[in-house]
């Protein structure tokens, strides 16, 4: 009876391995996220007198990041200005003196690292407001964003499971076929 059970289990494991390796494997999938970094403005340098606005069209639902380095123009020492990022609607409100919502704002002197998420695709304004200073500012700006795409791919672990089942099934089948039951004489 043990001989029949081992042989049957080994054969069933071999059939399961064959099905997994040939037919069922592509049906086991994973959701894979691919992050692609895009440089909108990797490095731009400009001088800010009072207010300077740089406009960029950005896609929706992406993470935008970059850096701003500010220095005083005559001495090249670290300087400060108000740096704001606004969508087009809030920029129009801000430029007419009405209350607006910023996506990012900083007055930190020297180097500023920023990150924000775009709620929708459209025009975004990077505003450099230097009206509080008598010195012009030298600015270096970088703008990048990460776009995440999701795709479905076959699970790469499935063939390993199939080959494992094949090896175990073959071993159990050989064991069941080679083992001879003891003959008892009554």
Mean pLDDT of 43-50: 92
Mean pLDDT of 154-175: 89
Q: Are 79 and 135 in contact (CB under 8 A)?
A: yes
Indicate if the pLDDT at residue 122 is higher than 60: yes
Indicate if the pLDDT at residue 1 is higher than 60: no
**pLDDT tier at 26, thresholds 50, 70, 90:** confident
Model pLDDT, residue 126: 96
Per-residue buried b or exposed e for 79-99, using 16+ beta carbons within 10 Å of the residue's own CB: bbbbbbbbbeebbeebeeeee
The domain locations on the chain are 2-28+159-178, 32-151
Query: Does the predicted model carry a pTM greater than 0.85?
Result: no
Indicate if the pLDDT at residue 46 is higher than 90: yes
Model pLDDT, residue 90: 95
Q: For 89, phi and psi rounded to 5 degrees? A: -65, -45
Indicate if the pLDDT at residue 4 is higher than 70: no
Indicate if the pLDDT at residue 55 is higher than 90: yes
Give the domain 32-151 fold: Jelly Rolls (2.60.120)
In 49-165, DSSP assigns E strands to: 51-58, 63-72, 82-87, 104-106, 111-117, 122-129, 137-154
């Amino acid at each position: 009876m043990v001989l029949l059970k081992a042989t049957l289990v080994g054969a069933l494991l071999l059939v399961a391995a064959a099905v997994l390796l040939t037919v069922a494997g592509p049906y086991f999938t994973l959701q894979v996220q691919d992050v692609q970094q895009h440089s909108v403005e990797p490095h731009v340098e400009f001088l800010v007198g009072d207010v300077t606005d740089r406009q960029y069209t950005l896609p929706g639902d992406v993470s935008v990041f970059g850096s701003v380095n500010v220095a005083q123009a005559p001495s090249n020492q670290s300087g400060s200005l108000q740096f704001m990022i606004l969508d087009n609607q809030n920029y129009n409100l801000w430029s007419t003196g009405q209350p607006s919502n910023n996506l990012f704002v900083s007055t930190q002197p020297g180097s500023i690292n920023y990150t924000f998420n775009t709620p929708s695709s459209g025009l975004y304004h990077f505003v450099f407001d230097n009206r509080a200073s008598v010195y012009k500012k030298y600015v270096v700006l970088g703008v990048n964003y990460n776009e995440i795409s999701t795709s479905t791919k076959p699970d790469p672990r499935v063939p390993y499971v199939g080959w494992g089942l094949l090896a175990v099934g073959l071993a159990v089948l050989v064991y069941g076929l080679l083992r001879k039951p003891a003959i008892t004489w009554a």
